[in-house]
Structure 1
């Protein structure tokens, strides 16, 4: 190409209604910035699309010019897979339509929406769809990878509530995928990530969830082994209405936390019990609390669901250095409990953390082959996240995450949740899909045979016979 991609796009994409941004334009640095400040890439072109027609034009431009194509929704993924060097970034952030149908209990969501925007719109009607724990996360990326969060035990994953999606394919075609149309694609996008096209619109099922009893219970980190062992034995037998993920972390240095415990290393549970009945919530939590010493802090209280969904936003704003590793977990034997306690006590920075999300309950109601997300028989999804605002600590947090994961991986189910992986290569991707990988590769060969959509946790097209 004798002229730059942004110059070529401006000449060729006459019908494009959005904004084309190149390295020489003001706003370029903002347009190429993603959530994880450890990622610093320089695309040749950022295309802010306004509608599916814009999306199709950009897909065709990248394809026809042989340019790498990254698709950006919220830009939250730890590996920075929504940005690329010397290629095209298809930015969906202007696709913000949200249409709630209270009677049908559905919400139609544009591909550029963030979780908090959807939470607020649905909460006005006393409804919610399950996904995530940080409200600035993009709906698109988290959904296509699975979408677990506070409501998972009762309501399932985001993909379990995905009724329909509208996509732009690699050939520029626009299709609808649901239980009756393009069923191969509908199966694949429920866990298979952004491998099959650009989703411009999602239709989700809604549940009657408005107020929840939510908040943390913290114990000193020295009790890590005791608390994790008790939690392990408790949570899988708790009512489905009770969500609660285990963590190692540090108490944030600000309200609403008491000043005397600010920055103290802790272990604990972040609760989210559906409904406003505090007595029922106390009864549901009691078996764990009664089995353990008195906590440093027990903070669950009634609140609107969007409040707990956004509770981590202030702790983890854009611009921190992140390095993630992850595993699916079937069981947590005593040896694993002790290793968790060891690494939890060695948190390298106050923002670094380990979360153990329960994925039993409603997730187990589907079989491993019902969607692309295959770990339906596992009980937890764990993430080891080294985090710090200072670039000087990037190697420190990365090393802790890798060492922690390496120590615990022998006790894992063998694969990891793709939304919490870094760019770890094909072996890790295959392990994340297990027996579903071959079917995904066949759908990929049919829908994207040239692997245009490869800047993701990539599923390679199956070889032709």
Structure 2
């Protein structure tokens, strides 16, 4: 497929005649705003941005891109680490205007359009004491998170986001609108539950809702990074027989300059265990007490709070516009050797916005058969998200190298990798994310639904 740096004004005007949303070209007001994505290190200039309002717009945009030989990037929330939702010279099919959410509290389902963000969905579902299991930063797009699998605060009790997906409406590379579910296009439904945007553009999701909140026992407890070896060994033992309702993320960083952080702690290297209990507050207080009382914490913000408040916990640490770089891996267990690496590299953190999140896996995620969905890694013990970040380009190279070195030090313990935590790392890493058998099945599925690899700006699976 060729790439074009310019699209004729007449051609754009002809598309606009059949297009309800807005078309934004490089000379238009708002172009720079609409081409921005969450990761500030990404600076790309598409030839055209098609801001879709519905299925008809999506189909028209696909037809136009094919007619003019344009490379296509698909944007939901624009939150991918490698910035795959924007491209140079080609066309961005921007789903952000598609904000429809319809909650059926009686049936405990929700229909959600592809431009919705997690916080927008949470607000609607929590009105009825319900939620879709999803991620941990509220300005993440529902679409990208879901299509990669969806790990978050209540997954150990209720499963991944894809485990609560009932159906999708999807526009294929040839512009056909299809529905996929367990009993309609079941092969495609298997693939979209973890296979990313390889098979088409999902315009609407149907989710099963689960009861959560409105209040939960949740939040972080902080220790000095120097105490990491002892805290992590206790943490490992504490988790050995924990209930599914408990979900934790171990975080390494420098204490942020927030109003709730005492000035004398700001900038100090800390280890936090951030917890969320998807059950009664009373049970959560009892289960979390041993962790809260271990050693000498320097801060404790773990308390009863609205679930909506807890979902925003990490938002200040990942705002739009900073420079983000991630390396990731799954590991089987938090062994002494892994703890030694974690403690070592935690003491090497220099940037005030660099961080590591070590996600506890297991529970309901692991009880679903590994072949049930394209998502891989259900048997992982923990998932590493190693972020080398900076507020500007200054110092970013050093943070990226720190992240690479940390990841390399863990290499003897790597098992798989979560596809949503990949940068642009090449075909072999995508294969590792799925395993050989699933990768082969996904390539065959890609051949069926996108034989020319029209949707290539993703963690790409080439047609068989």
Same fold (TM over 0.5): yes
Q: Which among 197, 212, 216 is matched to residue 216 of structure 2?
A: 212
SS of 2:389's partner is strand
Aligned to 2:420: 419
After TM superposition, the score normalised by the length of structure 1 is 0.96
SS at match of 1:270: strand
Deviation at 1:6, TM superposition (A): 5.9
Segment drifting more, 220-229 vs 177-186 = 220-229
Distance 2:81 2:51 in 1: 21
Q: Secondary structure, in 3 states, of the residue corresponding to 1:321?
A: coil
Q: Map of 1:167-186 to 2, 5 A cutoff?
A: 167-186=170-189
C-alpha displacement at 1:276, in angstroms? 4.8
Aligned to 1:390: 392
Q: Distance in 1 between matches of 2:241 and 2:31?
A: 51
From 270, 284, 289, give the equivalent of 1:281: 284
Q: Which residue, 343, 351, 354 being the options, matches 1:352?
A: 354
Report the CA distance shift for 1:2/1:30 in structure 2 as closer, same or farther (over 3 A): closer
1:38-187 aligned at under 5 Å gives the runs 38-187=41-190
Unaligned runs of at least 5 residues, structure 1: none
Task: Evaluate the alpha carbon distance shift between residue 173 and residue 225 of structure 1 in structure 2; reply closer, same or farther with a 3 A threshold.
Answer: same
> Which residue does the alignment assign to 2:244?
240
1:327 aligns with 329
**Structure 2 residue ranges without an equivalent (≥5):** none
Cα distance between partner residues in 2 of 1:305 and 1:378: 26
1:459 is matched with 461
Question: For residues 31 and 167 of structure 2, what CA distance do their matches in structure 1 show?
Answer: 34
2:407 equivalent to 1:399? no
Correspondence for 2:447 among 439, 445, 448 = 445
Q: Deviations over 1:317-376 (max 9, x none)?
A: 100010011101112221221111111111121111111111200101111111001211
Distance, in Å, in 2 between the alignment partners of 1:18 and 1:91 is 10
State the superposition RMSD in angstroms.
1.5
Contact 2:6 2:47 in 1 (8 A): no
In structure 2, distance between residues paired with 1:131 and 1:448: 28
1:25 match: 28
Q: 1:255 and 2:255 equivalent? A: no
**CA–CA separation in structure 1 for the residues paired with 2:9 and 2:396:** 33
Is residue 225–residue 347 contact of structure 2 (8 Å, CA) maintained in 1? yes
- Give the whole-Å Cα distance in 2 for the aligned partners of 1:132 and 1:64: 37
Offset at residue 444 of structure 1 (A)? 0.4
State how far apart, in whole Å, the 2-side matches of 1:45 and 1:7 are: 13
**Count of paired positions:** 459
| Residue among 221, 228, 249 paired with 2:232 | 228
1:227–1:268: 8 Å Cα contact kept in structure 2?
Answer: no
Contact kept in structure 1, 2:16 and 2:23, CA below 8 Å: no
Of 296, 306, 309 in structure 2, the residue corresponding to residue 307 of structure 1 is: 309
Distance in 1 between residues matched to 2:397 and 2:124, nearest whole Å: 40
Per the alignment, residue 264 of structure 1 pairs with: 268
Structure 1 residues 398-438: Cα deviation after superposition (integer angstroms, max 9, x where no partner)? 1111111111122111x211111100000000000002101
Q: Determine the C-alpha separation between the residues in 1 that align with 2:447 and 2:16.
A: 28
CA contact (8 A) 2:292 2:300 kept: no
CA distance in 2, matches of 1:361, 1:338: 26
Task: Please report the TM-score for the alignment, with normalisation by the length of structure 2.
Answer: 0.96
- In the alignment, the residues of structure 1 paired with residue 6 and residue 206 of structure 2 have an alpha-carbon distance, to the nearest angstrom, of 40
Tell me the SS of whatever aligns to 1:194: coil
User: Structure 1 residue 311: deviation in Å?
Assistant: 1.7
CA distance in 2 between counterparts of 1:6 and 1:303 reads 53
